[in-house]
Chains A and B, each alone.
Chain A
Amino acid sequence: MSTVVLLAVTGLGLGALYFLVAAGLSLIFGLMDVLNFAHGGLLSIGGYATWWAADGHLPGAGGGGPGFVLAVCFGTVVGTAAAMVLELALIRPLYGRPREQVLATVGVGLAVPALLSAIWGPDARPFPGPAALSGTFGLLGAHIPVNRLVLIGAAAAVLVALRLFLGGTRHGLVVRAGVEDRSMVTALGINVRRAFTLVFAIGGAAAALGGALGGLYYGSVDPGQGTSLLIFAFVVVVMGGMGSVAGAALAAVVVGLVQQFANYYTASGLGDLAVVVLLAALLLLKPRGITGRLA
């Protein structure tokens, strides 16, 4: 029983990490037809910025207590800024050429990890975190690491915030309408390009937060972390139905749980394979994903 509880919570934690990456990806894809290969790079930027700040380079920030919160905020802001620069400098000039937009993000996705590894070396850096988050607590007889709960909480907060934003604000309405039918929104005289930048900023913020919390989850940051998480985030986006935030949340939970349980009950590493098999099976049965949407 305790093993099942531990696996379930750990799987949810992993799913939370996937959701943080996939939510922005899904919105960007749904709105702009851009499969953002640079998203993993944004995640790494967020992770490294948090690590840099918590390592004592930012006054007031540190590895514990309020200092760590400040470091995470700093990382998220840096990731958001990077996403906006990416959108303004590369995506916007290629407006109307979705394939070139994807290719440009491929280039950025290759260059960012290389740059990070040039500056801070290719090896993993130990990630600081408050002592309160490094312990475990008991739940139904299982010892569960506290940082899994932080991840789940952060993902739930992001999900709620996104739903409030999309459902309750005018900008959110434009984004939602743009995901459904971009040409119609443009025809109504609404500036969709501003929505693009907004969605990129939101995606960058979520990815950077994912990077910061991913450092907590893995206990280290390395240049390749974002890229490896990105592939699972892609799987989540396809399974959840392109452009659907709720679908991405559901698929992230499924993928995280399947991966953890398969890793434990079969050989280690088969969890990754199980996810791929799951994706192939789902696409054969329901090519449009769980929510039945495929842009």
Chain B
Amino acid sequence: MTTATPAREAAATGEVPGPAGSLRRYGRWWPAAALAALLAAPYSSLPLPGLLDGPIGSAGSLQLLALCLVFGALATGYDLLLGRTGLLSFGHALYFAAGSYATELLMAEAGLPFAAAAALGLCCGVALSAALGSVALRVGGIAFSMVTLAFAQAGSILVERDPGGVTGGEEGRAIPADRLPSSLAGIGNTANLYWIALAYLVLTLAVVHWAVRSPTGRVWEGIKENERRVEVLGLRPYGFKLVAFMLAGALAAVGGVVHLLLTGGATPQTTTSDFTLSLLVMVVLGGSGSRWGPLIGGVLYTWADHRLGDLAGSGAVSDLPSVLRVPLSQPLFLLGALFVATVVALPGGLTRLPARLRGR
């Protein structure tokens, strides 16, 4: 491994900051190069001042990078509904939280080993999305959005009310470290968690790419364009929409398990409607319905959310006049404003930016 390090570091310097910029130079091989660079990131000690707090390979930076990858993947899975099938779901957080909470509970309360708990957590997410999706999909359009929002809100209330002390209420639940495999516990093993996050991203991209190109994916596209026409062709959109809903729910549940490992616990913030709305922001920011857009949006949003929080606490901001300092101290305000600007000025999101700059 050590002999290969310099070459991979070189790839890392070229790729990590901006995959979009080097798109044309690498031609069709740039995803493989980007993947190699991302795989090697934990071995790199290159500092990226401004972008990251410490060197890329340090635990804090790896943690942030891994979070970026998880949310990039989560947004990609969410876009299966929004960008591919045209379903505007406001309840995606529920399935993410279901994977996270179920896995934690099965480990802590039932004493299952991590792998078994994670598998059952995934099953919980799929079962929940199947049950709620089959109800919500009975109505279409904006009513579907409202029903998913209402279900997610019910889940959020349940988690916050802490029935029987099961969910831990506002505190959330910490993962029982003694039940984790030793290679996943502790700050010294952040690199392993980072690779798990990367694996989740690759899995999501592969599943979404494969599903969209399958015959089912073509029906989804038809439903997005014109649901009535799909019906006229003799197909029942309900079943296809339910498959999309369950697949996205399953991917979200896996994301919940990865997030649980990465942050060391399940938090009630992941059940709120704000969380789903931020997924929506990620997808639209990057470009809904495109292959890389949701990923780019998710990575950028997560990075900005964390770095802007650090920026707000820094001395440079606290010395500014209050007109500038007050908005700058709120990452969510800046992200909301950026989102509005994207929607108004850049339809299609950031992935459409190069094409628009070239004047097409």
Chain A residues numbered 39-97 whose CB sits less than 8 Å from any CB in chain B: 90, 93-94, 97
Between A and B, 26 residue pairs with Cβ closer than 8 Å are A33-B142, A90-B340, A93-B344, A103-B284, A103-B339, A107-B340, A108-B340, A110-B277, A111-B337, A111-B340, A113-B332, A115-B327, A118-B329, A118-B333, A231-B153, A231-B273, A238-B147, A269-B161, A272-B154, A273-B158, A279-B150, A283-B138, A284-B138, A287-B138, A287-B139, A294-B143
How far, in angstroms, from A231 to B343 measured CA to CA in the complex?
Answer: 23
How far, in angstroms, from A197 to B88 measured CA to CA in the complex?
Answer: 26
A234 touching B151 in the complex, CB below 8 Å, given contacts A107-B336, A118-B333, A284-B135? no
Q: Which residues of B contact A150 (CB under 8 A)?
A: none
Q: Is B347 an interface residue (CB 8 A)?
A: yes
Number of residue pairs across A and B with beta carbons under 8 Å?
A: 122
Q: Is B326 an interface residue (CB 8 A)?
A: yes
Q: Which residues of B contact A237 (CB under 8 A)?
A: 146
Q: Is A117 an interface residue (CB 8 A)?
A: yes
How far, in angstroms, from A294 to B141 measured CA to CA in the complex?
Answer: 10
Q: Is A16 an interface residue (CB 8 A)?
A: no
How far, in angstroms, from A279 to B281 measured CA to CA in the complex?
Answer: 26
| Residue of A112, A276, A284 touching B154 (CB-CB under 8 A) | A276
Chain A window 105-138, contacts with chain B (Cβ cutoff 8 Å), 1 for yes, 0 for no: 0111111111101110000000000000000000
Q: Which residues of B contact A283 (CB under 8 A)?
A: 138-139, 143, 147
Q: Is B149 an interface residue (CB 8 A)?
A: yes
Q: Is A151 an interface residue (CB 8 A)?
A: no
Q: Is B202 an interface residue (CB 8 A)?
A: no
Q: Is A19 an interface residue (CB 8 A)?
A: no
Q: Which residues of B contact A276 (CB under 8 A)?
A: 150-151, 153-154
Quick check: A118 and B150 within 8 Å, CB to CB? no
Quick check: A118 and B327 within 8 Å, CB to CB? yes
Chain A residues numbered 257-272 whose CB sits less than 8 Å from any CB in chain B: 267-269, 272
Quick check: A111 and B336 within 8 Å, CB to CB? yes
Q: Shortest 4 CB-CB distances between A and B: which pairs?
A: A111-B336, A107-B340, A110-B336, A114-B332
Question: What's the nearest-Cβ distance from chain A to residue B177, in Å?
Answer: 31
Chain B window 132-160, contacts with chain A (Cβ cutoff 8 Å), 1 for yes, 0 for no: 00010011011101110111011001101
Name the residue among A107, A109, A272 with the largest chain B CB count within 10 angstroms.
A107
Question: What's the nearest-Cβ distance from chain A to residue B94, in Å?
Answer: 12
Q: Which residues of B contact A35 (CB under 8 A)?
A: 142, 145
Question: What's the nearest-Cβ distance from chain A to residue B300, in Å?
Answer: 15
Q: Which residues of A contact B274 (CB under 8 A)?
A: 110, 227
Q: Which residues of B contact A205 (CB under 8 A)?
A: none
How far, in angstroms, from A280 to B136 measured CA to CA in the complex?
Answer: 8
Q: Is A14 an interface residue (CB 8 A)?
A: no
Select from chain A the residue with minimum beta-carbon distance to B283. A103
Chain A, interface residues (CB within 8 Å), range: 35 or more
Q: Is B180 an interface residue (CB 8 A)?
A: no
Q: Is B214 an interface residue (CB 8 A)?
A: no
Q: Is B280 an interface residue (CB 8 A)?
A: yes
Question: What's the nearest-Cβ distance from chain B to residue A241, in Å?
Answer: 10
Chain B window 329-355, contacts with chain A (Cβ cutoff 8 Å), 1 for yes, 0 for no: 111110111011001100100000000
Quick check: B145 and A272 within 8 Å, CB to CB? no
Select from chain B the residue with minimum beta-carbon distance to A98. B142
Quick check: B347 and A234 within 8 Å, CB to CB? no
Select from chain A the residue with minimum beta-carbon distance to B328. A118
Select from chain B the residue with minimum beta-carbon distance to A101. B343
Q: Is A201 an interface residue (CB 8 A)?
A: no
How far, in angstroms, from A119 to B325 measured CA to CA in the complex?
Answer: 10
Q: Is A245 an interface residue (CB 8 A)?
A: no
Quick check: B333 and A115 within 8 Å, CB to CB? yes
Q: Is A154 an interface residue (CB 8 A)?
A: no
Q: Is A104 an interface residue (CB 8 A)?
A: yes
How far, in angstroms, from A35 to B331 measured CA to CA in the complex?
Answer: 24
Quick check: B157 and A269 within 8 Å, CB to CB? yes
Q: Which residues of B contact A28 (CB under 8 A)?
A: none
| Residue of B151, B161, B329, B343 touching A103 (CB-CB under 8 A) | B343
How far, in angstroms, from A100 to B278 measured CA to CA in the complex?
Answer: 16
How far, in angstroms, from A51 to B275 measured CA to CA in the complex?
Answer: 29
Q: Which residues of A contact B147 (CB under 8 A)?
A: 238, 279-280, 283
Question: What's the nearest-Cβ distance from chain B to residue A292, in Å?
Answer: 13
Name the residue among B161, B332, B336 with the largest chain A CB count within 10 angstroms.
B336
Q: Is A235 an interface residue (CB 8 A)?
A: yes
Q: Is A242 an interface residue (CB 8 A)?
A: yes
A110 touching B335 in the complex, CB below 8 Å, given contacts A115-B330, A118-B327, A279-B147? yes
Question: What's the nearest-Cβ distance from chain B to residue A48, in Å?
Answer: 14
How far, in angstroms, from A104 to B340 measured CA to CA in the complex?
Answer: 5
Q: Is A29 an interface residue (CB 8 A)?
A: yes
Quick check: A118 and B157 within 8 Å, CB to CB? no
How far, in angstroms, from A115 to B149 measured CA to CA in the complex?
Answer: 24
A273 touching B154 in the complex, CB below 8 Å, given contacts A106-B280, A294-B143? yes
How far, in angstroms, from A7 to B278 measured CA to CA in the complex?
Answer: 37
